[in-house]
Amino acid sequence: MLVEESIRSAISSIKTNGVRSFLTALAIIIGTAAVISVIGIGSSAEKALEASIDDLGPRTLSIFPSQRKRGGIASGFNPLVIKDAEALAKNNEHNWLIAPAMSGNRQIKYKNSNMNGEINGYLPVNFEVRGFDIGSGRLFTEKENLGRKRVIILGSKVPGELKTSAREILNKDILIAGTSYTVIGVLKEEGSTGWQNPDDDLYVPLLTAAQRIFGTDRLGWINVGISNDTNVDYVMMTIEQILRQKHDIGPGGENDFRINDWSQFSDLRRQATGIFTALIAGIAGISLIVGGIGVMNIMLVSVTERTREIGLRKALGATQKSIMMQFIIEAVLLCILGGLLGIFIGVSLLYLFTSLNDWIFYMPLSAVFGSITFCALVGLFFGIWPAKRAAKLDPAVSLRYE
């Protein structure tokens, strides 16, 4: 019953001095809101990253062209070409999917609508590697690729951009630089991966793109889809071997391409995000400590104001322990209430931020419970000294305190 009495007394004290309690808890509220929203944004970013990695299919390596160096000096640019991809595809030592691609922006016209869109030259296998699914219509075939057919697949948002709908534009022609292409399919919505949005893009067969649109056999990149149990180092070695041979790089010469392992990249990015989140959350956490000092200050004032009450409680039989408990509970309660309000504000900010930026809303519960616990600890730590002062008051003197 004593604990109940302490809690009731704490609530009524906080309520009676409502404005003062609020101002005291303000630093705690702001601190918790900051910690919660920062951790939330960090976690949501990580979720978005994970989702985009998942979008790349089971596991994907990407090969990009890069500067060729001889003796440390850049000596021109050796592109990746379709033949390189073919050489890789010919290798049957690995069970991999070779997905070469090229891309560029072109003006697109349908009826009276115009848009500037990113056109990708893809093989049918590219869709598999990226995990894209067809929403309506169909994918193009290897035969259409080899025949350089003028067929095109649209990202899910493209029909809207062209002021029409997927159903309406299917099997119609659109114009790219004056040449007509037949829309044979529209993709399902894939969602942004963070650095590109496949829903805004258009996809034509690779050879069609090479010959009819871009007029080059230079590739933008080659994605290599591998299963999760593949020995990545070995795969990378094989790629290197084949491409060095194709590019005629002698022993000691540097690669004129680079291979990205996205999962490694995502690990790095996750680490960086984690460090950054921890740093900002830590700085915000300092404001909780500052808030704790404010709570201590107001608790000291409260002890002085309530000297007579403390004297009376001691006269009626309150021990030092029970007086201490009463004031510690008050400090802890003040901090927890501040923390709860801060969490509410922090989560609201996170919700606002994620919905404005089209992110996944994700708030780890551990952060919520963690910050409440931290607030309670702040209250406990900074409540002890004032509570001790209250407990040590001389009942005979404090009863007559004016």
Binding site for other proteins (CB under 8 A): 1-2, 4-5, 12, 16, 308-309, 312-322, 394-396, 399
- Residue (360 or 399) nearer to other proteins, CB: 399
Asked if 79 and 220 count as a contact pair (C-beta separation under 8 A), the reply is no
**Cα gap 43→47, rounded to integer Å:** 6
Q: Give which of 201, 200, 204, 221 is closest to 121, Cα–Cα.
A: 204
> Could you give the 3-state DSSP secondary structure of residue 209?
helix
Asked if 166 and 134 count as a contact pair (C-beta separation under 8 A), the reply is no
- Residue (99 or 323) nearer to other proteins, CB: 323
Q: How far is the CB of 368 from other proteins (least distance, A)?
A: 32
Q: How far is the CB of 308 from other proteins (least distance, A)?
A: 7
- Residue (5 or 173) nearer to other proteins, CB: 5
Q: Write the single-letter amino acid at 130.
A: R
Q: How far is the CB of 348 from other proteins (least distance, A)?
A: 33
What tokens does 309 get?
């009450």
- Residue (69 or 308) nearer to other proteins, CB: 308
Q: How far is the CB of 309 from other proteins (least distance, A)?
A: 7
Q: How far is the CB of 337 from other proteins (least distance, A)?
A: 18
- Residue (149 or 314) nearer to other proteins, CB: 314
Pairing outcome for strands 179-187 and 151-154 = parallel
- Residue (36 or 298) nearer to other proteins, CB: 298
> How far is CA 143 from each of CA 18, 147, 204, 208, rounded to the nearest angstrom?
76, 6, 13, 11
Q: Give which of 244, 259, 221 is closest to 81, Cα–Cα.
A: 221
Asked if 129 and 54 count as a contact pair (C-beta separation under 8 A), the reply is no
Q: How far is the CB of 6 from other proteins (least distance, A)?
A: 9
